[in-house]
Amino acid sequence: MSDIILPGLIDVHTHLRVPGGEHKEDFATGTAAALAGGVTMILGMPNTSPPLSTPEALQNAYAQAQADARCDVGLFAGASPEQIDRLPELASHAVALKIYLNDTFGPLRVEDVPTLRACFQTWPEDKMIAMHAEKQSVAVGIGLAAVYGRPVHFCHISRKEEIELIADAKMRGLPVTCEVTPHHLFMDETDFARLGPLGDMRPVLGTPDDVAALWAHLNDTVDCIATDHAPHTLAEKWSETPPPGVAGLETSLGLMMTAVTQNRLSLDRLIQLMHANPRRIYNLPEQPDTRVEFEMTPTVIRNEAMVSKCGWTPFDGVEAVGRVKRVVLRGEVVVEGGKVICQPGFGQVIPV
Ligand code: DOR
Ligand code: ZN
Ligand code: ZN
């Protein structure tokens, strides 16, 4: 079968671990993993150490990304009650704002109404607000979207009750969008039983019913596939206090293309979910002369093949229908024969 040509994929949910977690991932390795997976633009999350919730931390991360990124990168600013007065200052170096409503990795959390009001009143109107919201917190986010009449994007929606609530909100014309991850589509709680800490992430893997609901809504309610690439070392994952999170940049396209060959979604829909909608929702720049060549050769996903610094994937041993062969970014071949060949600094950081 001939190769399939796709636009450069956009992952709106990646953890790059700079600053403070460079032993897990850094801009050079995380963006190499992205390109190896056919992803030419990523949005980096702010739950670093320190978090990207002060202008200083954000500017430093932005400068480091300019030096080290191999694909294009935008950064999220992180909402924090302690720094809320300085929130507007963060906008010049950020693509969007991230608000964590529920417990997960890192210290960023917003649990009080005054901070939420300040976010919606002072964050620039033309930049997106994204939320880590689970269960009834999704209703909080929908309420804020309605009150302030501005869009909210829900990260990694994983439960039947959540996707159904978002479907209801959309039906009533509220400006909400959402993403789902491949791990919540291709694994469920029985895989957690098998994988132990390697199958632990936030949100946790769902029930088979939850997974069925995500698939059932993939062609209407879901707006994006996003990886929530959250690398941690194997030593950390097997420690007494394993952090939640799994890598995802290198396995996302192969798994989703497998679903295309099983008629679970069309190739056009995949392109909407992994390129067009991410770009529209976050108002991201076009990448001219950029494409991904995907080779339809059955390929077993292997830990040893991972480019991410963490060096493992919960999908080790799973067969995908193909693999990324070549990636062209702004006219330059950046992946050839599956190998990343561009240097750190080739990627652009947005806003430029
Ligand atoms: O599993 C997760 N890991 N979920 C999150 O929300 C954060 C992430 C991380 O940063 O490791
Ligand atoms: Zn999250
Ligand atoms: Zn995340």
pLDDT digits (tens, 9 = 90+) for 331-348: 999 999 999 999 999 999
Does any ligand 1 atom lie closer than 6 A to the CB of residue 202? yes
Nearest CA to ligand 1 atom 2: 245
Q: Tokens at residue 264, please?
A: 């679970």
Confidence of residue 45 (pLDDT cuts 50, 70, 90): very high
Name the amino acid, one letter, at 3.
D
Query: How many C-alpha atoms does 337 have within 13 Å on its Cβ side?
Result: 0
**What per-residue confidence (pLDDT) applies to 178?**
99
Mutate to test the pocket of ligand 1, among 13, 43, 104, 249 (most ligand atoms within 8 A of CB): 104
Q: What is the pLDDT of residue 225?
A: 99
C-alpha atoms less than 13 angstroms from C-alpha of 339 in its C-beta half-sphere: 2
The token duo for 26 is 């850094």
Q: What is the pLDDT of residues 149-191, one digit of tens each?
A: 999 999 999 999 999 999 999 999 999 999 999 999 999 999 9
Helix H or strand E encompassing 317: none
- What average pLDDT score do residues 270-278 get? 99
Centre of ligand 2 from the C-alpha of residue 328, in Å: 30
Peptide linkage before 314 cis (omega within 30 of 0) = no
What's the pLDDT at 159? 98
Among the bound ligands, name the one nearest to the CA of residue 243.
1
User: What's the pLDDT score for residue 2?
Assistant: 84
Ligand 1 binding pocket includes 132 (Cβ within 6 Å) = yes
Would the CB of 13 count as within 6 Å of ligand 1? no
CA of 3 to the centre of ligand 3 (A): 31
Domains contained in the chain, CATH given: 4-340 (3.20.20.140)
Residue 56 CB contacts under 8 Å (≥ 6 apart), including other chains = none
Question: Is 44 close to ligand 1, i.e. is its CB under 6 Å away?
Answer: no
> CA-CA distance, 64 to 26, in Å (whole number)?
9
**Mean pLDDT calculated for residue range 1-11:** 94
Residue 1 has pLDDT above 90, yes or no: no
Strands 4-6 and 152-154: unpaired
Residue type present at position 30: G
Which of 13, 14, 15, 184 is the best mutation target for the ligand 1 pocket, counting ligand atoms within 8 Å of the beta carbon and taking the most?
Answer: 15
Which residues have a Cβ under 8 Å from the Cβ of 305 and sit 6 or more positions away? Answer: 250
Report d(CA 207, CA 223) in Å as an integer: 22
Ligand 1 center from residue 243 Cα (angstroms): 8
pLDDT of residue 280: 98
Q: What is the average per-residue pLDDT within 257-278?
A: 98
How far is the CA of 337 from the CAs of 29, 253, 287, 291, in angstroms? 18, 16, 22, 14
Whole-number pLDDT of residue 46 = 98
Return all residues near 278 (Cβ < 8 A) that are at least 6 apart.
10, 11, 12, 224, 226, 284
Question: Rounded to 5, what percent of the chain is helix, strand, coil?
Answer: 35, 20, 45
Question: Which tokens hold the place of 346?
Answer: 């080739």
pLDDT at position 26, please?
98
Average pLDDT estimate for 24-31:
98
Instruction: For residues 267-288, give the mean pLDDT.
Output: 98
Contact 69, 345 (CB under 8 A): yes
Is the minimum distance from the CB of 201 to ligand 1 under 6 angstroms? yes
> Which residues, by Cβ under 5 Å, contact ligand 2, an ion?
132
Q: Which of 106, 108, 101, 78 is nearest to 90 (CA)?
A: 78
- 24 within 8 A of 52, measured Cβ to Cβ: no
Query: Which tens digit of pLDDT belongs to each residue from 59-82?
Result: 999 999 999 999 999 999 999 999
Is residue 325 classed as helix, strand or coil in its secondary structure?
A: strand
Q: Answer yes or no: is pLDDT of 277 > 90.
A: yes
Output the CA 267–ligand 2 centroid distance in Å.
27
Percentage of the chain surpassing pLDDT 70? 100
pLDDT digits (tens, 9 = 90+) for 289-325: 999 999 999 999 999 999 999 999 999 999 999 999 9
CA distance 28 to 69: 5
Please tell me the distance between residue 1's alpha carbon and the centre of ligand 3 in angstroms. Answer: 35
